Amino acid sequence: MVDKKLNLDSSLIKSLKEIRENTEEESKSSNVILFFSYDIVNSSLYKTVNYSSWTIVINNIFKYVDSLVTERMPNCELWRILGDEAVYIVQIRDIEQIYKNIDSIFEILCKTKEYLSSGEIFKNCKSEIDIEIMKMQNILSIKGSSWLAIVANDINAKGSNVENAYLHYNNFESIKNPGFFEFLGKDIDAGFRISKETRDRRLVLSFELAYILKMRTDYLSKLNLITFRRLKGIWHEKLYPIIWFHDREKFKNISFEESFKFDELEEDELSREYFNNRKKGNSSNINQYIYEDINGALDKILEDRNLKNKIEKIYSTIEATSEYHKDFTNIIPLEMHCVAICYKVNKSDGSIQILVAKRSSKKKQNPSIWEFGCAKANYKDSIIDTIKNEYKKDFNIDIDLICYEDRNEKQPIPIAVYEIEKGSDIHKGVIFIAECKNDESVVRINDKHEEVKWINVEEIETFRDEECVLDFKNTINIASKKIKEMRENIFEYA
């Protein structure tokens, strides 16, 4: 069973309420920030190998990472780029955000790794020869880290116990440059310390972040205790757990143990320690059971390092956060879903057929449910282009959206709007009608769907309501009526 909230006993619930009451004012002036960074592996060596164009390659990597972050985590903000490391921040207002964001952070890491290892990064080189040379020189990869911090907005707030602070430096002499912001504190330092304890294609987590993740059983199995390190200035330089996050579904369905390269233990000390610490009779001074039970290990560390109050304070601060800090995160754009009811006319009998698609059983939201496909509108492309491109990508069909004819601005005609709940968010959607311009034989199944087919309007009665998205049959009936009216008008004026 998946626990969606922290499983606290009664005494812990009481102490949590007391903390929430006693620190209400402090929480209002504090925010929980999730930090994450991506660091290019072997960048220094690559600069000597490809000395003529390494700047273009490194710049393209950062652009690719940023495009993925913008697409999957639109409320994130790039904090800084330090050499070959990009550091992002995202303010946490809901504990569920932590789980969603970690999924995205790791997925971006995996996609960027594949982008580099496949040589796709070089596809825009001048010639095929350049591409092959670039691939031969390619030694680049990527690694990641992520950590949490409670950050005080006002370091001078009365009664505030500041461990991490946010500072905004204004440039009063420049209108164009409003200044920059900085984060300082123990947890910020810890994040940069653990970022040195990760490796190619790995994501290292701070203890606090790992502990919150482990409260959900499906995330506990993704945590891997590698070893312990003494980190300068952290925990009075007592041993700190090095924890790597690994999701096999996002890593080509390869388990953590199988994900090590054949010579990785020869080349890397951290990798060797992971396996050596699990051997009977190992030379480590840490009890072996610590390495065998990640859940017990995190509970033991929490107790021994007296960090229970800190975890509780993270939860209470998140619960007390009512709005986004204007400097910490981008304004979250409205995510608009655009559904096209795609139809075609049967050449033999003139009947109208509708394209329906069954969502993949692996989908977290509405698995194995019949729908019509979907495209997400963005601020870069027009609605028409977004829908046409997405349906071409997903189903390999070319469509023409039914648009207003009596308006100067050509936009598709909506037939309905809808809302769906995703966690704590409510996503908005608009439904349009589109005519398929190519033969049904080209329609294909994609990663999002496990079945795709054309159906006659009469066939909708064979679908059970619980197998379909809300208003599935009603939407088809409305679309069908509109399509018939439109076709009758065409014939009338023909």
- The amino acid present at 190, given as its one-letter code, is A
Strands (E), 346-436: 352-359, 370-371, 375-376, 399-401, 416-422, 425-436
For the chain, the average pLDDT equals 83
pLDDT value at residue 399: 94
CA distances from 492 to 485, 487, 488 (A): 10, 9, 6
Higher-confidence residue of 135 and 391: namely 391
Phi, psi of 437 (to 5 degrees): -100, -5
Going along the chain from its start, the domains and CATH numbers come out as 10-320 (3.30.70.1230), 336-493 (3.90.79.10)
pLDDT band, very low/low/confident/very high, at 235 (cuts 50, 70, 90): very high
Q: Which tens digit of pLDDT belongs to each residue from 295-342?
A: 999 999 999 999 999 999 999 999 887 666 656 655 445 568 999 999
Q: Is it the case that residue 191 has pLDDT exceeding 90?
A: yes
pLDDT mean over 262-279: 90
pLDDT value of residue 152? 86
Ranking 82-96, 286-300, 372-386 by mean pLDDT, the lowest is: 372-386
Highest mean predicted confidence (pLDDT) among 22-26, 169-173, 488-492 = 488-492
Looking at the whole model, is its pTM more than 0.85?
no
pLDDT digits (tens, 9 = 90+) for 48-58: 776 667 787 88
| First vs last C-alpha separation in the chain | 62
Tokens of 106: 């790791």
Distance set, CA 407 to CA 401, 411, 413, 430, 494 (Å): 15, 8, 11, 19, 22
C-alpha 366/C-alpha 364 separation (Å) is 6
Instruction: Determine the pLDDT at residue 8.
Output: 44
486 vs 343, 405, 435, CA distance in Å?
13, 12, 12
pLDDT at position 492 is 46
Please tell me the distance from the alpha carbon of residue 276 to that of residue 211, in angstroms, as a whole number.
24
Which range, of 78-92, 126-140, 187-201, 281-295, averages the lowest pLDDT? Answer: 126-140
Structure confidence at residue 493 (pLDDT):
42
The average pLDDT across 385-393 equals 91
Is 70 exceeded by the pLDDT of residue 230?
A: yes
How far out from the chain centre does Cα 456 lie?
A: 38
Per-residue burial over 419-458, b = 16 or more CB atoms within 10 Å of its CB, e = otherwise: eeeeeeeebebbbbbbbbeeeeeebebeebbbebebeebe
- Calculate the CA dihedral of residues 101, 107, 112, 117 and round it to 10 degrees: 160
HSE-CB for 18 with a 13 A CA cutoff: 7
pLDDT band of 382, cuts 50, 70, 90 = confident
Model confidence over 100-147: pLDDT tens digits?
Answer: 999 999 999 999 999 888 877 766 655 554 555 555 666 788 999 999
For residues 110 and 201, the answer to whether their CB atoms sit within 8 Å is yes
pLDDT the model gives residue 156: 58
**Residue 158 burial (CB count, 10 A):** 8
Question: CA-CA distances (angstroms) from residue 485 to 97, 145, 351?
Answer: 45, 57, 14
Report whether 257 contacts 226 (CB < 8 A).
no
Q: Residue written as tokens 């000395």?
A: 51
Q: What percent of the chain has pLDDT over 70?
A: 80
Which range has the top average pLDDT, 121-130, 176-185, 211-220, 408-417? 211-220
Q: What's the rounded mean pLDDT across residues 178-196?
A: 86
Instruction: Report the pLDDT value the prediction gives residue 148, as an integer from 0 to 100.
Output: 96
Distances 474 to 63, 110, 205, 468 between C-alpha atoms, Å:
43, 40, 47, 11
Closest CA to 309 of 59, 47, 2, 18: 18
Q: Decide: helix, strand or coil at residue 465.
A: helix
